[in-house]
Amino acid sequence: MPNQDILDLQPTHIQELQNRYDQALTEHGYDSLLIASGAAPYRYRDDQTYVFQGFGPFLHWTGLAGQEHSWLLIRPGHKPVLWLYQPVDFWHANPAMPEEPWQEVVEVRSRQQPGAPELDNPGRLAVIGDPLVLDGVPGEHNPAALVAAVEETRVRKTPYEIECLAHANRIALAGHNAARDAFLAGDSEFGINLAYQQATGQREAEAPYHSIIGLNEHAGTLHYQYYDVQPPRRPRSLLIDAGVRYRGYCSDITRTTAGPGESRFAALVHGLEKLQLRLCEMVAPGVDYVDIHRKAHQGIAALLSASGLVSGLSDEAIVEQGISRAFFPHGIGHFLGIQVHDVAGKLTPPPEDAPFLRLTRTLEEGMVVTIEPGLYFIPSLLEPVLNGPQAKYLNRSLLDELQGCGGIRIEDNVAVTASGTRNLTREWV
């Protein structure tokens, strides 16, 4: 959807936010809510700060991810007030404030001081935000029940939010295509990162998370965080997990590419992608997300059998005996929104067979989730199996061969619609 069409949806989004917040505040007995955008803390004994990304509820209203020391006041039945920190400063520039429709329904006041504004007659006041910026601010700080209610307002995305997420996918996919081309041209992890940033037009500090770019065995570290400047002698695989922010909203996409001549690995990538697409299609209202996670394990077991990595066991036994978990140790995904791992996914704790699952809810229209199965060759997880009674089921020489490819993850961003699913990532291919 073009930019202007997305913006046209914004007033309805803000109206819906106002309704949801009014309801949350009334239910919890508060007259006003002050939201702190936050500020990057200084590093210990240093005059440099950590990289800043704003507090979720502040972004939910404004989309301004880089706006420090600003405050937003919400009161049921009143126009919200935003105090925007805009100091006269010859060291730093103030962030640009693109004109957007939300500013017509929010009173914007410019401010020179970083601290919280003084409020006239706030009544019973809650203040939410990073505790580091709340010292000395009057009101109840981060009351748990209200914070949970505010987080719940982010669970079912408005049409505006879904289009922002779709747009964030579109931009990131241009980066993924450039990254794949750079890999196939023989670039290093560092070079691939440059290609990604060039194509997305977004510096890494603004992205929702540091891009994970792993060649060869690095692809087997789930959140691999370094970039080799030299390409490997034999580029066997690329795993890139990278997104962008668009008006505060995140994409979170992973693609895996086999290097030239890696036909066995390429076949596994193809098999995992087919499984991933089937899992995406399971997304629909009323579906328990934990069931999608369990289906992923069954599919991975089938892939392990079909590829000959595991033999002599039924697919069910591969799952029951924990072998699929040695290859796929993380959860099938999470909520996505203005945080990459968006809030309120675990109203109940994850089940014992899925300890890292970040989302345990039944899906509802408007939720946006990731679907990201993986199949990795991680020495610290495979060695206990190879040194135990189940070793006889594993094909050690095939594992040895594939170990140097690291692993596979394929991740899309999927919205739950009234009748099923909308894959926000595959719309742009």
Would you say 80 or 248 has its CB closer to Mn ion? 248
Would you say 202 or 370 has its CB closer to Mn ion? 370
Q: How far is the CB of 399 from ligand GLY (least distance, A)?
A: 25
Q: How far apart are the C-alpha atoms of 82 and 61, rounded to whole Å? A: 10
CA-based nearest residue to 220, from 339, 114, 358, 376: 376
Binding-site partner at residue 187 among ligand GLY, Mn ion, none, CB < 5 to 8 Å by type: none
The two structure tokens encoding residue 360: 């345990």
Binding-site partner at residue 68 among ligand GLY, Mn ion, none, CB < 5 to 8 Å by type: none
Q: How far apart are the C-alpha atoms of 77 and 56, rounded to whole Å? A: 22
Inter-CA distances, 199 with 163, 192, 227, 244, Å: 20, 11, 18, 11
Q: How far apart are the C-alpha atoms of 113 and 69, rounded to whole Å? A: 8
Q: How far is the CB of 366 from ligand GLY (least distance, A)?
A: 20
Q: How far is the CB of 428 from ligand GLY (least distance, A)?
A: 19
In the set 289, 372, 390, 410, which binds ligand GLY (CB under 6 A)?
372
Q: How far is the CB of 333 from Mn ion (least distance, A)?
A: 6
Contact 35, 129 (CB under 8 A): yes
Cross-strand partners of 35: 72, 128
Would you say 75 or 255 has its CB closer to Mn ion? 255
Q: How far is the CB of 20 from ligand GLY (least distance, A)?
A: 26
Stretch that binds Mn ion, among 245-253, 255-263, 274-282, 416-424 (CB under 5 A): 245-253
Q: How far is the CB of 254 from ligand GLY (least distance, A)?
A: 6
CA-based nearest residue to 192, from 241, 125, 149, 145: 241
Q: How far apart are the C-alpha atoms of 274 and 168, rounded to whole Å? A: 24
Q: How far is the CB of 27 from ligand GLY (least distance, A)?
A: 32
In the set 217, 241, 315, 342, which binds Mn ion (CB under 5 A)?
241
In the set 18, 53, 370, 425, which binds Mn ion (CB under 5 A)?
370
Contact 138, 111 (CB under 8 A): no
Residue of closest CB approach to ligand GLY: 241
241 is in an annotated binding site: yes
The amino acid sitting at 210 is H
Q: Cβ neighbours of residue 33 under 8 Å, at least 6 residues apart?
A: 21, 25, 73, 74, 75, 125, 126, 127, 128, 146, 150
Q: How far is the CB of 340 from ligand GLY (least distance, A)?
A: 6
Inter-CA distances, 77 with 34, 82, 393, Å: 15, 16, 65
Stretch that binds Mn ion, among 4-12, 45-53, 246-254, 378-386 (CB under 5 A): 246-254
In the set 189, 217, 411, 412, which binds ligand GLY (CB under 6 A)?
411
Residues that bind Mn ion (rule: CB under 5 A) add up to a total of 5
CA-based nearest residue to 155, from 24, 31, 349: 24
Residue of closest CB approach to Mn ion: 241
Stretch that binds Mn ion, among 18-26, 48-56, 61-69, 407-415 (CB under 5 A): 407-415
Binding-site partner at residue 209 among Mn ion, ligand GLY, none, CB < 5 to 8 Å by type: ligand GLY
In the set 189, 241, 342, 412, which binds ligand GLY (CB under 6 A)?
241
| DSSP letter (8 states) at residue 73 | E
Q: Is 342 in the site for ligand GLY (CB under 6 A)?
A: no
Tell the residue number behind the tokens 């099938």, with chain if given.
332
334 is in an annotated binding site: yes
CA-based nearest residue to 393, from 304, 320, 286: 304
Strand pairing category for 374-376 and 249-250: unpaired
Would you say 52 or 209 has its CB closer to ligand GLY? 209
Q: What angle do CA 368, 172, 68 make, to 5 degrees?
A: 80
Name residues contacting ligand GLY, limited to 172-231 (CB under 6 A): 209
CA-based nearest residue to 310, from 396, 375, 408: 396
372 is in an annotated binding site: yes
Tell me phi and psi for residue 109, to 5 degrees: -120, 130
In the complex, which residues of this chain contact ligand GLY (CB under 6 A)? 209, 241, 252, 340, 372, 411
In the complex, which residues of this chain contact Mn ion (CB under 5 A)? 241, 252, 254, 370, 411
- Residues making up the annotated binding site are 241, 252, 334, 372, 411
- Residues making up the annotated binding site for Mn(2+) are 241, 252, 334, 372, 411
